[in-house]
């Protein structure tokens, strides 16, 4: 499978989930409160972390070739676990409470909050640096195409939910929206696990 498309699908699968960062972007998008700055901070941060993960992992794999196999099957396990976790969330009634009651922040506070929700979240490092780094290195010389795909997913998602939050507020506030989305994500994760396990990358 083409590295850029695997990167795009994996990036979307990891980023599209209910969490503090996404909730913040959506809520500030509803208020149209410095959303351009917030989107830039989140998307650039993801891009830097993904590139650092793939670049750093690449250097380690060059020094320890056997690690590639460990990373491959670790990736399969993680994708499968992520798919199961997402599938289980379909049974819950979660939403982002996009009801429009959003407090407006100063530019400085909005920027600091976006940075903190990104860089102080341990799951961000697990998903971008460790997980995407290990998957990206399966593509060898094409690994930077994987980075491009995964980073593109971040830019599309943050721009979409940030600038489109107002128009999509009714959908975002409904648990059914997230149930359908989680179902799609789970299927994508299981599919990618199969690709990583059996396909010749």
Count Cβ neighbours within 10 Å for each residue of 8-18 and write b for 16 or more, e otherwise.
bbbbbbbbbbe
What is the pTM (predicted TM-score) of this model? 0.71
Give the Cα-Cα-Cα angle 71, 77, 80 (nearest 5 degrees).
135
pLDDT in tens, 70-110: 767 877 887 788 788 778 877 776 555 544 444 567 899 88
Q: Report d(CA 196, CA 201) in Å as an integer.
A: 8
Three-class SS state of 66: coil
The yes-or-no verdict on residue 131 having pLDDT over 60 is yes
Residue found by looking up tokens 């989930």 in the block:
17
| Sign of the CA dihedral running 51, 151, 129, 188 | negative
**Beta strand ranges found along the chain (DSSP E):** none
Mean pLDDT calculated for residue range 105-129: 83
Residue found by looking up tokens 């690690």 in the block:
67
């Amino acid at each position: 499978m083409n590295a850029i498309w695997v990167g795009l699908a994996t990036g979307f699968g990891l980023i599209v989930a209910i969490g503090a960062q996404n909730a913040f972007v959506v809520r500030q998008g509803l208020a149209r409160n410095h959303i351009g700055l917030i989107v830039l901070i989140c998307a650039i941060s993801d891009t830097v972390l993904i590139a650092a993960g793939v670049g750093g992992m690449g250097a380690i794999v060059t020094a320890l070739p056997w690690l590639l196999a460990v990373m491959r099957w670790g990736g399969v396990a993680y994708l499968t676990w992520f798919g199961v976790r997402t599938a289980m969330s379909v049974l819950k009634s979660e939403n982002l409470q996009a009801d429009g009651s959003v407090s407006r922040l100063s530019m400085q506070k909005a920027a600091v909050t976006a940075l903190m929700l990104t860089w102080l979240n341990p799951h961000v490092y697990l998903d971008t640096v460790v997980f995407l780094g290990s998957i990206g290195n399966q593509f060898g010389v094409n690994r930077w195409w994987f980075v491009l795909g995964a980073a593109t997913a971040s830019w599309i998602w943050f721009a979409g939910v940030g600038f489109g939050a107002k128009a999509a507020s009714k959908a975002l506030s409904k648990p059914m929206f997230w149930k359908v989305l989680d179902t799609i994500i789970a299927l994508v994760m299981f599919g990618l696990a199969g690709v990583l396990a059996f396909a010749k990358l």
